[in-house]
Structure 1
Amino acid sequence: MNSLPLTRDLVLIGGGHTHALVLRKWGMNPLPGVRVTVINPGPTAPYSGMLPGFVAGHYTRDELDIDLVKLARFAGARIINGYATGIDKDAKTIQVAGRPPIAYDVAAVDVGITSAMPDLPGFTAHAIPAKPLGTFASRWDAFRTQAVAPQIAIIGGGVAGAELAMAMAYALRDKQPTVRLIEQSSVLLALGYKARKKMLAALDANNIEIVEYAEVTEIFADGIVLRNGRTIRSDFTTGAAGAKPHDWVAKIGLDLHEGFITVDANLQSSVPEIFAVGDCAHLSHDPRPKAGVYAVRQAPVLFDNLRAVLSGGALRPYRPQSDYLKLISLGEKSALAERFGTAYEGPLLWKLKDYIDRKFMDQFEELEPMAAPDLPHKMALGVKEALGDKPMCGGCGAKVGRAALQNVLESHFGDDAAEVQPGQVMSTDHLRALTNDPVLMTRIAAVHALGDIWAMGAKPQAATASLILPRMSAILQERTMAEIMTTASEVFAKAGAKIIGGHSSLGDELTIGFTITGLTKAPITLAGAKPGDQLILTKPIGSGTIMAAEMAGKANGADVMACLDLMVQDQAAASAILGKAHAMTDITGFGLAGHLRGMCDASDVGVELHLDAIPLMDGALELSAAGVRSSLFEDNLIGAGAIDGPVIDLLFDPQTAGGLLAAVAPKSVKTALKELQTAGYTASVIGEITATGRFKTC
């Protein structure tokens, strides 16, 4: 809940080290009135300092990655999963593929650098650059588990290439690897004499073959070709040289230095409302090499200066240190240290590096959610019990339970949509936001509302929108409405419907809903299930548990992103494929058990549910086993009624924009299942309808 209106948009482009630290600081000390957005291609940001250790096998992938989803939740920011492709500095908008432009008042760029290696013929098809780190880490993880007597080629003989070479050799030491470090001049020229001598000795100790004064001209499936005609075999080719800025940066219209964004002592670009930090920036007042230590130390200055610009305060300069301690991994748990021309090596330095790296990463694990406000000393009886012991969930987790609705609505309680006249059905649905991103929330709410129409076997016809925006300034209202309505129009147009009107108001939080009509010759209801019918479910379950965990900072960011991706998957094709189902519903707020109970009651049949066949979202079972529950769980447990046999808690988990559940004649199941899976649905047969009237699991 926002106690003050939102008046300014701050957008952080990229999840680099500086921005990660800024988000952490923002979560501990937010600036009221600012809406924060972070744009990053993926739910995590790998920490470059631990990459060689990960490659060597000293760290797991989870230990390598900063979970930006958790961090954004802690900071109260919306996270957008996508690549920024441009900035319009005049319109003050940012382009991200697949969504409307994102407006900003102040923006900061921390997208790091990319590799020039793909410019080599054959590189894109047959090799992998060391940056971006996330893609490289995934490819290496897959390769090292299946490699046999591998041949590896690293293009680029700088410190980064040498670290990777030794880490790879160590990781594959039991598989007789051949690792070659290829450099077009001489290797390790950036190091001082003493450090270079020790690094060369370490490369030799790791059996790294150094190929100097060798220019690579082509990459092919099984190796590389050098300018002198030599062919070198390679099963895994990577590039740790040729770092360059992202191409889109050059098109912004900012002052650049060799393609990098030029910034002053305040970290501001030539356009004062755009800041830049990390490897993508060039410090005009005090140039420094590209190194993570500078990005880390820019974070407090960027944090203070962003707050200053957004609140009308004074900025402060960033003063980089003249030199820093370089700690370089040597494959095994040993490291080399260089500073001011001196160099040392050994296991104790690895322990120091490991301590520093883990301490840095621990900052992003120890994120305590903000405490709830204290309750009044005196209040009405029942207030504490009504509040519960955790925040109310968003999406379908915020709905009224099945048992309460059934008691109140009585005969009006039943099918997903109502037939208002022959051939036309209508439904309405709205959701309390479960994400701070209006575009993503609009997609979820639209697909969720359309689910009632698709569950009746109808084709969407027309829709009206009902919106509640959090309190915000007029300009932010306009920006948010533009994002919502542009997205909604796209979703409904794809579904074959048109938005014909709506209503909007301001309130405490974002709520999005739609009333929809649909056309069908013969509505599919809950009442047609027959004994012997097979039950097909088109989506996995578990979204209520995952999003409840996300609110508490307990969910894995990748699982959250995968869950959201399933929510926005529409059910249009599934509805058409299941058009001859005897009965159908969509799984939403009441959970699988509650909605299946509704089908059984309406059809006067029983069910035998196969627990092992029910598809579950990644991470949901583990979170459920750890006691994570949606705030609607208890109501759904009561609403589902008596169940014979074993149960899992996810049966009562409320689903937002969940899948279709259809009772299908046995002769049609095989064909329907094949068509659903071909169409991209995680469809499964999860049970069958019985004549006993019992809800049984096995």
Structure 2
Amino acid sequence: MTKDKEPMTNDKDLVLIGGGHSHAIALRMLGMNSLPGVRLTLITNVSHTPYSGMLPGHVAGFYTFDECHIDLRRLAQFAGAQLYIDKAVGLDLNSNKVICANRPPVAFDVLSIDIGSTPAKESVSGVAKYAIPAKPVPQFLKRWNRIIETLAQHPKQSLSLGIVGGGAGGVELAMTMQRRINHVETRHGTSVKIHLFHRGNQLLPGHNSWARRYVQKLLRKRGIQVHLGETVSQILPDKICCESGLVVDCDYSFWVTQASAPSWIAESGLHTTSKGFISVGDTLQSLSHPHIFAAGDIATMVNHLRPKAGVFAVRQGKPLVENLRRFVQGKALHPYKPQRRYLSLIGTGDGSAIASWGSLGWHSRLLWRWKDHIDRKFMWQFRDLPEMESANPVPEKTPNLTKLPRLGTPKNAPPMYCAGCGSKVGSTTLERVLKRVQDEYHFSTPDDIILGLGTPDDAAVLKVPADKLLVQTIDYFRTLINDPFIFGQISTHHCLSDLFAMGATPQSVLAMVTVPYATAAQQEETLYQLLSGAMKVLSQVQAPLVGGHTTEGAELTFGLSCNGLVHPQQLIKKSGMKPGDRIILTKALGTGILFAAHQRLQAKGRWIDQAVESMLLSNQEAVKVFRDHGVTACTDVTGFGFVGHLVEMVQASGVAVELEWERIPLLEGVTELVQQGIASSLYPQNVQAARFIRNQEEMCDRANYPVLFDPQTSGGLLATIPGDKAANCEQVLQALGYKDSHIIGQVISASSDVPPLRFL
């Protein structure tokens, strides 16, 4: 036995579904004061969640995307939470698992749900097909931004917008949309009409009579057509039809009616209201399942009925965290009673706002300034997070960067744990995981696998066909993202890439895994998620997992030893570059910088989303395209960085290259992070390759120069194609989904007295 300084193991899984206001507050509070013995996981279908208080201002153009969205990736990283970007679609309450749309089920001991609501579509014909719902917000904003872009691109276009719903949401949307459109009209002369439909005889139900009358008068004064007492019966592609017979031409229809809940909530077996919302008591616990909590719009406090408004979701955040903390600690929970009256501030799209409080009302620019101050203060708490570690600067010469913090390290591990074979994951745990992933990702074993996972032998036995060469490679590294399912996919793509770069077809793989210390059940779930990700990729390339080794450790690590087969005449090497060839790079650079920043809470969630999307793109199809276009040399860009791997090719081929600096693709956010001095810990070693750059002094002054030496995880391919075929090759790659593929330079004859790389 060897001694370690880590504390006790995590023994409970707390899973949060949804990144609503309550959960955002919960994550921040848990980041400031963690829950001992608890592994925290957030499941959300977006990495940036909108703050409802500032959303209308964003529609009007007052706030940028970042100003009115909470970065859940950064927040989850701060809280030490696993982040699963996926949509929950069901619950298995018999086995306590969350069913997701695109990943394996997620186990929980304690669950909290804060997924908001969606506008009730009822049974109106055409709504699902033609209307644009106000929620989910990301889809709404995508459509709205597209409309604004269309207006800007087609000056003097006539357009008619219809908004169904005369509550505060519909009213505010009408006025803020008009403000944004007026800005476009001022520049382009666009003509747009806005229609607001409401089944009631007065707008703003639930507000005082002054507010209802004032808003109706204000809308009409601004030229917004208000249709009261009109029940919409049908939505057509270009019309809104009402039961009264009223038909209004509308190019776009927006649906902003009463809130509704997704059907899977009631179908799961949770106690719900007649409208499908989760029924909770004063402690925010489900009435039917006390280990499940709910907050925000998706929950209804049965003893304190309140409107579905963001103010209540915000105020539920603190009591939710306190009760989750007390529940896992086995303590009595505290009841929470929301206030009966609340101030409603409705932006009017012109830098002013309407206040509604009880029977009182007021319209003033001072109210907007007050609202703006409140909203910005609320959002600031999610930006003002302590940094995980100060940024590593990128000095002019060889930098001395500190080692990156360990990822995936549990806050609680046993004070004593075994080394050697005593550190292996238990056989029963491993057997259960392998059975689960094999049942889910079953594919037939090729004839050349003599002995594999299905046999009890000590090693796999493979047959190598007489007319093929065996290509072998191995990669193994720590997790860079707190999602073992995604990490398993990224790692597998990365490991297989060496085979693809050499033109080989994967035959089999051996896995190497270190699972963080935890209970046996938690280790099983981590291993299951990880291997499910790996098997998802392996099943796509029909490469069976034939064995491996698992151990316990301080952090999650994973790698594969890969075997591939290739015909001798189809083997692709680094040494085939010829003068006149064009150089093609298939993926954008910058993953090392982005994840170094992510560890320090300095990368935006959408930047990491884009990087993950790139890393999940297999290089297999790109190699087929290269082969069809007469590829002469190829490698994959990984740990040694762009320049390091290119130098290997150039030296092996005895040539030189000229590179077009502006055509080298970079991932979003990389330029900004380089300016902040962020770099990977491997940068100091990789930058030594700068001596191979002929115009190094000139290049050092360019803003993104450090990216040339940035280590890539699951990076793209770097290949040379005959000059007369390169342009077509580039087009085919982009059409296949390699959108960042570019011809970035050409091969020239080498000169013995100068370095072989020159940037133009």
State TM-score, norm by structure 2: 0.84
| Aligned-partner SS, 2:234 | strand
Provide the residue aligned with 2:277 in structure 1.
Answer: 260
Distance 2:537 2:623 in 1: 16
Maintained 8 Å contact 1:466/1:513: yes
Deviates more, 1:668-677 or 1:96-105: 668-677
Distance 2:123 2:582 in 1: 54
CA shift, 1:469, in A, is 1.2
What letter is aligned with 1:62? D
Maintained 8 Å contact 1:2/1:509: no
Alignment RMSD: 2.1
Aligned with 1:577 (options 610, 619, 625):
625
Provide the residue aligned with 2:21 in structure 1.
Answer: 17
Aligned with 1:184 (options 199, 203, 224):
199
Does 2:519 align with 1:506? no
Map 1:15-414 to 2 at 5 A: 15-117=19-121, 119-147=123-151, 148-173=157-182, 175=185, 176-186=191-201, 187-258=203-274, 259-269=276-286, 270-370=288-388, 388-389=401-402, 391-392=404-405
Provide the residue aligned with 1:562 in structure 2.
Answer: 610
Change (3 A) 1:265 1:57: same
Report how many residues are paired.
Answer: 663
Provide the residue aligned with 1:690 in structure 2.
Answer: 748
Provide the residue aligned with 1:407 in structure 2.
Answer: none
Provide the residue aligned with 2:437 in structure 1.
Answer: none
Deviates more, 1:84-93 or 1:578-587: 578-587
| Aligned-partner SS, 1:541 | coil
Maintained 8 Å contact 2:42/2:82: yes
CA shift, 1:393, in A, is 8.0
Maintained 8 Å contact 1:392/1:631: no
Provide the residue aligned with 1:552 in structure 2.
Answer: 600
Provide the residue aligned with 2:725 in structure 1.
Answer: 668
| Aligned-partner SS, 1:117 | coil
Provide the residue aligned with 1:410 in structure 2.
Answer: none
Distance 1:302 1:662 in 2: 54
Deviates more, 1:103-112 or 1:127-136: 127-136
| Aligned-partner SS, 2:595 | helix
CA shift, 1:107, in A, is 0.8
What letter is aligned with 2:11? T
CA shift, 1:429, in A, is 0.2
Provide the residue aligned with 2:444 in structure 1.
Answer: none
Does 2:693 align with 1:643? yes
Provide the residue aligned with 1:382 in structure 2.
Answer: none
CA shift, 1:597, in A, is 0.5
CA shift, 1:64, in A, is 1.6
CA shift, 1:493, in A, is 1.5
Distance 1:624 1:119 in 2: 52
Does 2:9 align with 1:5? yes
CA shift, 1:353, in A, is 0.8
Cα shift readout 1:250-295 (whole Å, capped 9, x = no counterpart): 1110111121100111111111111111000110122211111111
What letter is aligned with 1:329? G
| Aligned-partner SS, 1:49 | coil
Provide the residue aligned with 2:429 in structure 1.
Answer: none
Distance 2:689 2:330 in 1: 54
Maintained 8 Å contact 1:2/1:470: no
Change (3 A) 1:140 1:636: same
State TM-score, norm by structure 1: 0.91
Cα shift readout 1:107-145 (whole Å, capped 9, x = no counterpart): 100011112338533333433111112221222222224
Maintained 8 Å contact 1:469/1:506: yes
Maintained 8 Å contact 2:96/2:107: yes
Deviates more, 1:431-440 or 1:114-123: 114-123
Map 1:491-640 to 2 at 5 A: 491-522=537-568, 523-579=571-627, 580-640=630-690
What letter is aligned with 1:622? E
CA shift, 1:583, in A, is 1.2
Provide the residue aligned with 2:715 in structure 1.
Answer: 658
Maintained 8 Å contact 1:393/1:630: no
Provide the residue aligned with 1:400 in structure 2.
Answer: none
Provide the residue aligned with 1:404 in structure 2.
Answer: none
Distance 1:44 1:650 in 2: 26
What letter is aligned with 1:689? V
What letter is aligned with 2:231? E
Maintained 8 Å contact 1:2/1:471: no
| Aligned-partner SS, 2:692 | coil
| Aligned-partner SS, 1:427 | strand
What letter is aligned with 2:265? V
Cα shift readout 1:605-624 (whole Å, capped 9, x = no counterpart): 11111111111111112222
Maintained 8 Å contact 1:435/1:441: yes
Distance 2:537 2:706 in 1: 32
What letter is aligned with 1:601? Q
Maintained 8 Å contact 1:449/1:515: yes
Cα shift readout 1:165-208 (whole Å, capped 9, x = no counterpart): 11112222352432111012222232111222222232233222
| Aligned-partner SS, 1:360 | helix
What letter is aligned with 2:649? M
Maintained 8 Å contact 2:400/2:684: no
Change (3 A) 1:369 1:137: same
Provide the residue aligned with 2:476 in structure 1.
Answer: 430
Distance 1:4 1:672 in 2: 55
What letter is aligned with 2:610? A
Deviates more, 1:556-565 or 1:306-315: 306-315
Maintained 8 Å contact 1:588/1:658: yes
Distance 1:65 1:546 in 2: 20
Provide the residue aligned with 1:464 in structure 2.
Answer: 510
Distance 2:221 2:373 in 1: 25
What letter is aligned with 1:68? L
Distance 1:629 1:635 in 2: 12
Q: What 5-or-longer segments of structure 1 have no aligned partner?
A: 373-384, 396-418
Deviates more, 1:466-475 or 1:148-157: 148-157
- Sequence identity, in percent? 39
Distance 1:432 1:390 in 2: 13
| Aligned-partner SS, 2:377 | helix
CA shift, 1:653, in A, is 0.8
What letter is aligned with 1:336? I
What letter is aligned with 1:238? F
What letter is aligned with 2:308? K
CA shift, 1:370, in A, is 4.2
Change (3 A) 1:242 1:118: same
Change (3 A) 1:435 1:254: same
Distance 1:507 1:691 in 2: 50
CA shift, 1:313, in A, is 2.5
Maintained 8 Å contact 2:389/2:600: no
What letter is aligned with 2:539? A
Q: What 5-or-longer segments of structure 2 have no aligned partner?
A: 152-156, 186-190, 391-397, 409-463, 700-704
Distance 2:125 2:590 in 1: 45
CA shift, 1:149, in A, is 4.2
Maintained 8 Å contact 2:388/2:600: no
